[in-house]
Each structure stands twice: as structure tokens, then as C-alpha cells.
Amino acid sequence: MKVKQKWLLNVAQVVLTLLGVAFFLLSSGKIFTNLGWPFPWWFSILFFVAAGVCGFYALKLSDEAEKQRALDHMAGRPIFNDEEFGKHFFPNDRAEVAAKLRKIVSHHIPIDLSQLQPPDRFVEDLRMDALDSMSTVECVIEIEQEFGIKIPDSAAEKMLTFQSVVDYVAGAVKTKSTV
């Protein structure tokens, strides 16, 4: 979903969140009973369900906003498939590694990475942490399995850009093959 007015997405998130909180507070029934109004038991269920629905859609809008930020960051760049990407941005000895890594990363970030470039940062630019908090760990595990290497936590913490991941993995693969 391409949103032309980004502020509208943020306003909708805030409104849905506030409605959800209001419905949740109303579900207790205390406000109505303190005013002396009758409050049937099923009103609590109705307001609680309404609060849940508002919360669900506020969360969906938040995900959509994060995806949009990542796509806006990459907008206007040339589009490459995995192999073209590797050959265009990396020397021959790293092109295949870069192509495989981009394919692996694309499994863990729910946006189109056809306009990805090596200096793109996973957190700030691609919104990897906001889109799926477990995706970083799962991505590292898949990279380790694909290339038969181990990535220590200390090294993973330093891999902030796609370029840094390619450099580390290519170096680890080269070291593994010479040992």
C-alpha cells in the first residue's frame, strides 16, 4: 500500500490507539456505574472486543508505516535481481556471496529488496528490527547454515550495513576454505 500522505498514516495510528484505550477503559463498566447508568455484562465484552480490534489495526498501520519508510529510502534507485546486484556492486570474488546474502536477507525483511545497495543499514534504512524483531537472529542463523560458518555475537553486532555482512561472510568463507 503506497501512502501519499504519510501524516495521515500516523494520525490514523494515534486515533486507533486512543480509541482502543478508551474502549478498554469503558469495558470495566466503572465509568457508567459511577454515573448511575445501567451497565449490562455484555457491554464489557463488546467494549473489550472493540479495544482489541482497534489495537490490531493500529499495529497493522504501524507495520505499514515502517515498510513505507524502508521503501521510501530505496525509491528511485535502479532495480537489480540477485545475480545482477552481486556483479554490479561487488568484485568477482564476492559477487556470488553478495547475491546469496541478498536472497537470504529478503526472506527476513517483508519488503522488496530489488533496490538495495551495499551501504544500506539494516536498522535505520531497512527497518529490519521494527518489521520483525526476531528476523535479525533468524537471518544470522540462516547465513551461518548457508555458508557453513559461525558468526559470533560480537561480530554480528558490528554488521550494520549490507556491505559489512558481505565483507565478513566473504572473509569467513575464504578463511574456511584455506584451512
In contact, 63 and 131? CB cutoff 8 Å: yes
pTM assigned to the model: 0.74
Q: What pLDDT does 163 receive?
A: 95
Q: Is the pLDDT of residue 131 over 60?
A: no
Helix, strand, coil % (nearest 5) of the chain? Answer: 70, 0, 30
Q: How does the average pLDDT of the chain come out, rounded?
A: 85
Distance from C-alpha of 36 to C-alpha of 97, rounded to nearest angstrom: 70
- The label of the residue with cell 545475480 reads 83
Nearest to 6, CA basis, from 77, 52, 62, 54: 62
Rg (CA), the chain: 23
Q: Is the pLDDT of residue 3 over 70?
A: no
Distance from C-alpha of 160 to C-alpha of 129, rounded to nearest angstrom: 12
Q: Which of 21-25, 29-33, 59-63, 88-92 has the lowest mean pLDDT?
A: 29-33
